[in-house]
Structure 1
């Protein structure tokens, strides 16, 4: 792993991985702040800031930003998540100075013009409307909201129409000054990049970033609650999410949870896919996932099916969860490890994927994690650890259920909770 790290006097961390066989470079700025760092009256402002960064600076108009990067065949984009925000570009090696200059410009000199803000609010309102029209987006948003009821971590990243409409340039600048500081920012590049040259460029262009926040960043401790949320809609398919409290990134069972999610629903050979879709034909989509955050996690199973299939589908899923707490085969662990190893190695063939991977590891662990070390962590996972984890995950915590669509035949959460707690029991809807 040809990774070099420099921490500048300003506190900004610069990381590169040279991939000499390439002609391009993927580079970006990752900030250890996201929607979870908003205050109560800032719901959606992290995402709005990400949009507004591209809408003009002291030196460039919004059109200038777009044209300058595309004039050299480059790409520029950004993303906001619950705990991070990223701004990134991909260019040929000769145009790295331009990409660094544009990224620095939008992060240190954004104008937050009133007219641009008005237009961008309208764009985001359309984005919120589109998400509300997409059932598989709605079911995940509602799932997070009920799992972490009344908490910032459970709120939709986009915000609401009311909150978005009310934001002012001053509020955006306040969030920016509180969260976009050098101690929380990482500039990462992968590809045809020279570390010393790149570090000098970053040091010069990002010199005006504040080292300390204007006030302490906001981050309330997450409390998993769980519960039930349903929305009946006249749709062809029902979207159903059944979830449980998972593990944070730094917890011992984090990697174990990733393996368990892979075994249960990580691909066509997984237990849920084979039993629910292939063997029984109960849905067209079913998978399991595990999301880790800094102090909590979520383990979930998502299925999309016809409303008439729900009375049979849910008990089959519960049965597969119970089986995972009783028996896990070594062959399943080996397959899951092989899939994770392949993902790691394939990601190293893409500079964009590699830059993102390095940035995430720096934010989470303070250093890049070599692949052999990552695989060593996975080697310690045994069948006994997995069955023990499954028993604790699925049967010792309050479940979260989110459903959207023709869900009249979906059993009450109380019945599902009872079925999870009692071996062999069926939900009332399923038994009837």
Structure 2
């Protein structure tokens, strides 16, 4: 469906447009409705389930903030649970918990999600509560101050977790001052002076109907979900004039990354945390399926090259793995290891040697088969609950502009060849590598190699 399908039809009033996207043998029936406001509703009906996961996804994340706004999206995520014109904070939580349900939210660099999981019979309640808090929060001044304190404590707690901090340090090494290099939570310097008016302005400018996707999966009826959503949003700021859905975030222009750098956060820790990596590929790059296979082979499991070499054979680290992060216009590929400070040099030497070896000679047919199997298995096994299915619907719509059927996705993985993976490895692993370290060192302890 194109965005124009949601517009006012010729010769008539604006109306919702519904379409069946798939009737997947490995899942349920997926339907999509575009409301006149441009807000989209996607559902997957799975009659065998007795629960429903319901999520409201907003195409706004920390990368949409200016420097002085850093942390606004995350601050807002906290505040929306503090009260609306209909409910106080206690009512929001107690209404869902009274029926055994659960609610939560999270902010990423490119989107924010608010979700609930309830029994199927309690879906109307979940829709009413979640739509209310996202559409009609009051952002009361006392709540702003309360949550400011909570967020500052969260930032301090994060600083006490070097295994988490090193990932943010690595992003800053690659992206520098670009929003993708900033902390999602913001910092003490940006959160402390942030005013209610600034947050309110961010809320109303960014949380608009065309930027929102509502997704639900489980034992449900699509038409009933759409009706309940429209009722819950009636009269709120999301009940707006006809509009078309916002397009998914553009991949152009690509994000400019920094030259390879070494960034060290000196800390008296018992364990050193290191990340070695480079800019990767964006999420619409056709090589993303080959990247999934390559990542599995290098550091995606206990049978991976890095795990076997560094942990199993030499016992140098308890945790070692590789990962790929992908955004609309950029990406990262990296290897993480946590080890004793005295073993950092050896771990880095082994990691660099393995990456260089794969870049030069590629992987084997046996590794290709194993990497494909891991990709397919983790994807299908990840669809065993309503929450993951709900997330798949929303991400397909919000991030990719379409929902790839399960069989097609598996076929795309199967189609990856040895040449595909080896060509990607030669390109990706041959790039200059940045290094991020948290531990009892200073930058003079490391040289960019």
Contact 1:39 1:218 in 2 (8 A): no
Change (3 A) 1:410 1:376: farther
Distance 1:370 1:314 in 2: 40
Residue of structure 1 equivalent to 2:91: 64
Which of the residues 342, 349, 354 maps onto 1:308? 342
Does residue 276 in structure 1 map to residue 310 in structure 2? yes
Distance 1:217 1:176 in 2: 19
Within 5 Å, which residues of 2 pair with 1:283-298?
A: 283-298=317-332
Residue of structure 2 equivalent to 1:106: 133
Contact 1:277 1:284 in 2 (8 A): yes
Residue of structure 2 equivalent to 1:351: 386
**Structure 2 residue matching 1:141: 3-state secondary structure:** helix
Give CA deviations for 1:6-40 in whole Å, capped at 9, x if unaligned: 11111111111111111110001011110011122
How many equivalent pairs are there?
A: 412
Change (3 A) 1:311 1:32: same
Contact 1:231 1:404 in 2 (8 A): yes
Distance 2:189 2:446 in 1: 32
- TM-score, normalising length from structure 1? 0.91
Residue of structure 2 equivalent to 1:340: 375
RMSD across aligned positions (CA):
2.0
- TM-score, normalising length from structure 2? 0.88
Which protein is richer in helix relative to its size?
Answer: 1
Which of the residues 423, 427, 434 maps onto 1:400? 434
Distance 1:356 1:368 in 2: 11
Residue of structure 2 equivalent to 1:365: 400
Contact 2:39 2:210 in 1 (8 A): yes
Contact 2:375 2:413 in 1 (8 A): no
The runs of 4+ residues in structure 1 deviating greater than 4 Å are 210-213, 216-221, 408-411
Distance 1:340 1:357 in 2: 16
Cα deviation for residue 217 of structure 1 reads 12
Give CA deviations for 1:105-128 in whole Å, capped at 9, x if unaligned: 111110111111111100001000
Q: Which runs of no fewer than 5 residues in structure 1 stay unpaired? A: 417-432
Which of the residues 37, 54, 79 maps onto 1:52? 79
Give CA deviations for 1:165-209 in whole Å, capped at 9, x if unaligned: 212222112112222122221110000111010011112222431
Q: Which runs of no fewer than 5 residues in structure 2 stay unpaired? A: 1-23
**Structure 2 residue matching 1:284: 3-state secondary structure:** strand
Contact 1:306 1:406 in 2 (8 A): no
Distance 2:53 2:45 in 1: 11
Residue of structure 2 equivalent to 1:130: 157
